[in-house]
Amino acid sequence: MALELVRERLVELACERGLSTVQVAQLASLLEMLEHDGRAPTSSAARTPETAVDVHVADSLTALELAPVAKARTLTDLGSGAGLPGLVLAVALPEAEVRLLESQARKCAFIESAAERIGLPNARAVCARAEQWAAGTGVSDVVTARAVAAQPVVLEYAAPLLSLGGSLIDWRGVRDPVEELAADRAAELLGLQRVEIHSTAPFAGSRDHHLHVFAKVAPTPERFPRRAGMARKRPLGR
């Protein structure tokens, strides 16, 4: 019965987001891997399909409510972890090239395995630190970040990866005016500008979910990102 309910929930999400039966099957495969693959780097509490279908899949799909994501052609998922939201968005956006940027080899291995099993030729893992991924400089029209770091840190990681006019989508929970002020100061240094804070309700009972949208309005100075570890050690905007 539980699996039937998960399937029904996936079909419901597909109807909401305009996904096909093939994409529903791909998302079901991802949920199966999150539950059974011991390499899946996510908490045990969020690995069962009944929970993951909302906490991971529905939450990731909320980004499609934003125009820059819906029309993205080159997307980088920053600090991808278990491939979320990157793998879900790769399913939803088959015409987009999705790079899942992750520094830990074990997590990269899971992402690569998942992309192959699900059948996502448009997704690939990049096993590197954001500060050291020179090949990614200025090539993404969208960067996503979900549960990566404090917002000023995420901005410093993301800004160099974005093309001019591109957008960063940063998943956040309860709004923090102090952190937002620091992030706005950091954004000014990085060529970014906050353009929207989009409130979402990815599943019944969810509260305080927000997508923070920053646009790249000017070139990022060449001194950014700073060397590995500095963004977290000395966050901009504080």
User: Across all residues in the chain, what is the average pLDDT?
Assistant: 94
Residue 196's pLDDT band, with cuts at 50, 70 and 90, is: very high
Lowest mean pLDDT among 7-21, 27-41, 191-205, 206-220: 27-41
Q: Would the pTM of this model clear 0.85, i.e. be above it?
A: yes
19-74: pLDDT as tens digits:
999 999 999 999 999 988 877 766 555 778 999 999 999 999 999 999 999 999 99
Average pLDDT, integer, range 179-208: 96
Average pLDDT, integer, range 166-173: 98
Residue 205's pLDDT band, with cuts at 50, 70 and 90, is: confident
CB 102 within 8 A of CB 81: yes
Q: How many CA atoms lie within 13 A of 234 on its CB side?
A: 6
119-157: pLDDT as tens digits:
999 999 999 999 999 999 999 999 999 989 999 999 999
Strand duo 97-102 + 162-172: pairing = unpaired
Residue 3's pLDDT band, with cuts at 50, 70 and 90, is: confident
- Residue 97: pLDDT over 90: yes
Instruction: Say what the pLDDT of residue 1 is.
Output: 46
Best CA proximity match to 142, nearest among 182, 111, 101, 102: 101
Q: Where are the domains positioned within the chain?
A: 62-233
Average pLDDT, integer, range 204-225: 95
Q: Looking up tokens 């993301």, which residue turns up?
A: 158
Structure tokens at 26: 């791909």
Percent of the chain with pLDDT over 90: 90
Going through 79-216 in order, the beta strands assigned E by DSSP cover: 97-102, 123-127, 140-146, 162-172, 192-200, 209-216
CATH T-level fold of 62-233: Rossmann fold (3.40.50)
